[in-house]
Amino acid sequence: MSVIFDKNSKSFKLDTPGTSYVLEIIDGDYLVHRYYGARIPDTDLTYMHFKTNISSFFPNSPETNIPLGTQLLEYPTHGIGDFRASAVMIRGADGTATTDIRYVSHRIYKGKPVLEGLPSTYADENEAETLEIDAIDNHTGALVTLVYTAFAKHDAITKSVRVKNTSDKPFSLERIFSGCLDMPSSEYDLIHLWGHWAKERTPERTRLHHGKQSIESIRVSSGHQHNPFIALVSPNADEDMGDAYGFNLVYSSSFLIEAEVDSFGATRVLAGINPTDFSWCVNPGETFTAPELVMVYSDKGIGEMSRTFHRLYTNNLCRRQWKGIKRPILVNNWEGTYFDFDDEKLISIAKDAAELGIEMLVLDDGWFGTNRNNDDCDLGDWFVNEKKIRCGIKELARRIRELGLKFGLWFEPEMISPISKLYDELPDWCLHVDGRKCSPARRQYVLDYSRADVRDYIIDCMSKIIDEAELDYIKWDFNRNMTELGSALLTPAQQKELSHRYVLGVYEVMQRLLDKYPTLLIEGCSGGGGRFDAGMLYYAPQIWTSDDTDAIERIDIQYGTSFVYPASAMSAHLSASPNHQTRRATSFKTRGIVAMGGNFGYELDLNQLTDDEKEAVKKQISDYNKYQKLVQGGDLYRLISPFKNRLHSAWEYVSPDKSEALLTFVVMRREIYSRYYLVKLRGLDPEKLYRSSDDGRVYSGALLMNAGVNLCKDYTDGDSLIIHFTEVK
């Protein structure tokens, strides 16, 4: 990794092991973009200057002959002749919004700065180098600092932006994107991950076209509908070849990621806070920080792009305490009992769990308030319901711990039920607009996390329970999106800050809890995977991937999720068959094999298991303990896409030293005749020899990758197998 400034060409160059990124200061002190792609030795790319025979409809900059609207710009501003979407628009005290930033100075240093109040990737001095470029808008006194970090071991570059008000008058940020990338081509396909509840992160690939194509959220959450991620890939790109540029926001509130193709064939990518219903007032002396954008480039296809994200997030985003650490195998009572449990039932589940080798009991929704026997009430009343937990939470936790298990609890800390003690006492603590009725969702409203008193109250309530039950884990759920966005404490002008202030409040509460309880494991959740983003992953190193626990549906969901997020980020549980969401019956074995692609656990009533199933659980736990490091620390190869082949799917994990691999194969629907199932492995060392756990034979890596593994068997629907390949020396 290195970051350099070449004085002669006035160019900056950031290198990662396999990529380079070049930008340049041109006449008038504008910043233009020159290159992002495979690593190059050159720094001076001034020859790439774009000249065209343009008309008066592309105004020149007043001080140079450069029509900015024709150039690849590094951080385009509003109102000075570039009519594409701008990265920043600042409305000054005079009411105008023309924004014109010019280079002032820069710094290059080792390491990576912390983003104040925001989640971000982290790196020490040996892991990354950072470039900060200051550019000023003299009219408003806005000092814009573009922050770039290049990683030493990953082909990833992060961007973020700070804006300081150096004047004596306030101004408003009406657009403030985390990063822009102008690319001199539009020959790309756009991949994004769409979805809905119980069907999250479905990859969709379309050709770029002229004009704007975007994904966004205005839900004050990243949402089920569009993950804050896009990739631009060359039309020939597949898992193993072609160009793949990935963009992922480390942010959990309303976002916009947009690709705009202009009339010269260039593409502008913008990613950051959604400007809809947003503006932020920056008073004299104050600084605003935009969330982080992670950019990954691979010239070896979409698979390598994903593996880069996985390595980066495993090593430089996941909380240090949990980095590379196996998470407890848990049993969660939700699909086992729903709201219908008491302390004795929980202890009987815990007894079975302990006998089977499960490591933690998680008590899901329904343990608190006075009448939480369905989802009608009591959110906000974070005291234990002693009608259900008659022995009290402390004693329940003691009895669970006595069995050798850890103990975790479900919370939905951002919500308030209109039927609750908290709402009776403090109705204006929820997001609301005076004079308008609140729209309920799941019969609940949202607490106003922009308020310090709300945040303090929640930390206080949760701390009491965490202390009393000595919790090892909490599941942090979030089951609705925002409407009637208004806060009782913000001024009219500040109401447009609420969607960002809200998430800053959520991040603050999570950080304060983790400062207080450093070993606490937080699992993120939002009606399944409705807030599965890198912002949440910073605090919650694992996230409940989806409320759809059907193994066959989960293949799609985990496949799509793996475009960006590593196996260690996904929680996956074996649940009952027929499945509660789809009514599909799937074998115990396949349910286990699919759930082992994430943080493994069970979500059913263990008391109902047959003896055979109990034996199967013991075997699964032993397999998971054997393979977890390979799955979560290895490289993922998506071999057969369940979206391209709706009959069967295969994926593989390879250890970093290529000494072992794990192949998983699932037949979603058998065909009438058996057929060739020759699955070609990837990522092995062709020179090495590997023994297959399936037939005990020894194969060369070259053979396994070129001829493939013979998986021809007489399958039934939902059959599956895993084969472990270990190096023979």
**Which parts of this chain interact with ligand DGJ (CB under 6 A)?**
334, 364-365, 375, 410, 477, 479, 525, 527-528, 544, 547
Minimal distance, residue 470 CB to ligand DGJ, in Å: 22
Minimal distance, residue 334 CB to ligand DGJ, in Å: 5
Of 15, 547, 548, 635, catalytic: 547
> Could you give the count of Cα atoms lying within 13 Å of 162 in the half-sphere of its Cβ?
19
Which C-beta is closer to ligand DGJ: that of 230 or that of 447? 447
Bridge partners, 192 (sequence order): 204, 230
Q: Is 511 helix (H, G, I), strand (E, B) or coil?
A: helix
Which C-beta is closer to ligand DGJ: that of 497 or that of 547? 547
Contact 601, 329 (CB under 8 A): yes
Minimal distance, residue 384 CB to ligand DGJ, in Å: 17
Which C-beta is closer to ligand DGJ: that of 34 or that of 327? 327
Which C-beta is closer to ligand DGJ: that of 269 or that of 572? 572
Residue number, nearest CB to ligand DGJ: 365
Give the CA distances from residue 37 to residues 40, 41, 214, 550, in Å, rounded to whole numbers and listed in that order.
8, 12, 22, 40
Contact 233, 188 (CB under 8 A): yes
Name the helix (H) or strand (E) containing 344. Answer: helix 343-356
Which C-beta is closer to ligand DGJ: that of 505 or that of 527? 527
Contact 200, 557 (CB under 8 A): yes
C-alpha radius of gyration, the chain, whole number: 27
Which C-beta is closer to ligand DGJ: that of 147 or that of 482? 482
Minimal distance, residue 419 CB to ligand DGJ, in Å: 15
547 an active-site residue?
Answer: yes
Minimal distance, residue 368 CB to ligand DGJ, in Å: 12
Q: In what order do the strands lie in the sheet with 2-6?
A: 2-6, 11-15, 19-26, 30-38
Minimal distance, residue 543 CB to ligand DGJ, in Å: 10
Minimal distance, residue 332 CB to ligand DGJ, in Å: 7
Minimal distance, residue 387 CB to ligand DGJ, in Å: 18
Q: Is 71 helix (H, G, I), strand (E, B) or coil?
A: coil
Beta-carbon contacts of 656 under 8 Å, excluding residues fewer than 6 positions away, are 633, 634, 635
Which C-beta is closer to ligand DGJ: that of 28 or that of 418? 418
Which C-beta is closer to ligand DGJ: that of 206 or that of 374? 374
Q: Is 108 helix (H, G, I), strand (E, B) or coil?
A: strand
Contact 481, 220 (CB under 8 A): yes
Minimal distance, residue 445 CB to ligand DGJ, in Å: 16
Minimal distance, residue 544 CB to ligand DGJ, in Å: 5
Cα 704 from chain centroid (whole Å): 33
Q: CA triplet 378, 382, 383: central angle to 5 degrees?
A: 105
Query: Which of 249, 257, 248, 259 is CA-nearest to residue 207?
Result: 259
Q: How far apart are CA 359 and CA 330, in angstroms?
A: 6
Of 15, 100, 477, 556, catalytic: 477
Q: Is 456 helix (H, G, I), strand (E, B) or coil?
A: helix
Report the sign of the C-alpha dihedral through residues 408, 412, 413, 418, in that order: negative
Cα 277 from chain centroid (whole Å): 23
Q: What is the DSSP code string of 514-561?
A: HHHSTTPEEEE-BTTBTT-SHHHHHH-SEEE--S---HHHHHHHHHHH
Which C-beta is closer to ligand DGJ: that of 127 or that of 603? 603
635 an active-site residue?
Answer: no
Query: Which of 257, 259, 242 is CA-nearest to residue 208?
Result: 259
Minimal distance, residue 466 CB to ligand DGJ, in Å: 18
Which C-beta is closer to ligand DGJ: that of 525 or that of 574? 525
Q: What is the DSSP code string of 648-707?
A: EEEEEEE-TTSSEEEEEEEESS--SS----EEPP-S--TTSEEEETTT--EEEHHHHHHT
Measured from the Cβ of residue 518, the count of other Cβ atoms closer than 10 Å reads 10
Q: Is 38 helix (H, G, I), strand (E, B) or coil?
A: strand
Alpha helices in 5-92 (DSSP H): none
CA dihedral 167, 168, 174, 180 (to 10 degrees): 10
Which C-beta is closer to ligand DGJ: that of 12 or that of 410? 410
Residues designated as active site: 477, 547
